[in-house]
Amino acid sequence: EDQVTQSPEALRLQEGESSSLNCSYTVSGLRGLFWYRQDPGKGPEFLFTLYSAGEEKEKERLKATLTKKESFLHITAPKPEDSATYLCAVGVQETSGSRLTFGEGTQLTVNP
Amino acid sequence: SAVISQKPSRDICQRGTSLTIQCQVDSQVTMMFWYRQQPGQSLTLIATANQGSEATYESGFVIDKFPISRPNLTFSTLTVSNMSPEDSSIYLCSVGPSDTQYFGPGTRLTVL
């Protein structure tokens, strides 16, 4: 059974204070590690998919990295608008789409 | 990216009743996925809906409680049957492709 654990549960940063979120996983075979951002009252917004150890992807102030056992979401010089819950998930890829197992998320608050 | 809409966006229902949630996608997709997000928790996959075949349910979810229809390649419904307060959650539909996974805005259900 796939398992995904995220840490910390909550993180408070000052604007401009860089940090990292962790996602560790136990799967029978990695088929995709997904990162999402979720704002209150909204559905998750897709950020990245990583497939192999050593892979990195970037989007604005966010960079996701992957090892064989965990993934990190690095946030560089965050702004208050980066405040959200960040979710990671591992995916079983189907012919059209992926069945995802999610972690519990990290709630990020960036204070001005 | 796919544009996904859900109806209703929210509802308050009495225990013992049923609610049908609609999911509409702006393009044809083979597979659609239904997730549940209980208050303060992460997302859990309920079932995978393929056009022209029976939905595939995850462990802990059964067809009698969560019947799903998939009449065409752009539409699906999830019914929450014989509701109890424990069914109060956000219900989300999701579509691929397999290297990304997009989510609808969700239906917030409260059962009294």
Question: Which residue has better confidence, B54 or B64?
Answer: B64
Residue B101: per-residue pLDDT: 86
Which among A1, A6, A2, A13 is positioned nearest to A71, based on CA atoms?
Answer: A6
Alpha-carbon torsion, ordered B15, B17, B22, B23, to 10 deg = 40
State the pLDDT confidence band at B109, using cuts at 50, 70 and 90.
Answer: very high
B104 touches chain A (CB under 8 A): yes
Residue B60: per-residue pLDDT: 94
Q: Identify the domain containing residue B68 by its residue range.
A: 4-10+19-102
Q: Closest residue of A to B42, CA-based?
A: A104
State the best of B7, B9, B98 to mutate against chain A, taking most chain A CBs within 10 Å.
Answer: B98
CA distance B49 to A110: 38
- Which residues of chain A fall short of a pLDDT of 70? 29-30, 95-96
Q: Which residues contact B93 (CB under 8 A, 6 or more apart)?
A: B4, B6, B21, B23, B32, B33, B34, B35, B76, B78, B103, B104
Q: What total number of domains does chain B contain?
A: 1
- Enclosing H/E stretch for A72: strand A70-75
- Give the closest of A97, A100, A101 to B31, CB-based: A97
Residue B52: per-residue pLDDT: 81
Residue B77: per-residue pLDDT: 97
CA distance A28 to A44: 25
Is B111 within the bounds of a domain? no
Residue B21: per-residue pLDDT: 98
- B58 DSSP assignment: P
pLDDT digit string (tens) for B41-57?
Answer: 889 999 999 888 889 99
Is B110 within the bounds of a domain? no
Q: Å from A102 to nearest chain B CA? A: 6
State the pLDDT confidence band at B98, using cuts at 50, 70 and 90.
Answer: confident
Q: Closest residue of A to B29, CA-based?
A: A96
Question: Which residue has better confidence, B94 or B99?
Answer: B94
CATH of domain A3-111: 2.60.40.10
Q: Which of residues 12-41 of B touch A (CB under 8 A)?
A: 29-33, 41
pLDDT higher than 70, residue B40: yes
CATH of the domain at B88: 2.60.40.10
pLDDT (average), residues B70-94: 96
Is B108 within the bounds of a domain? no
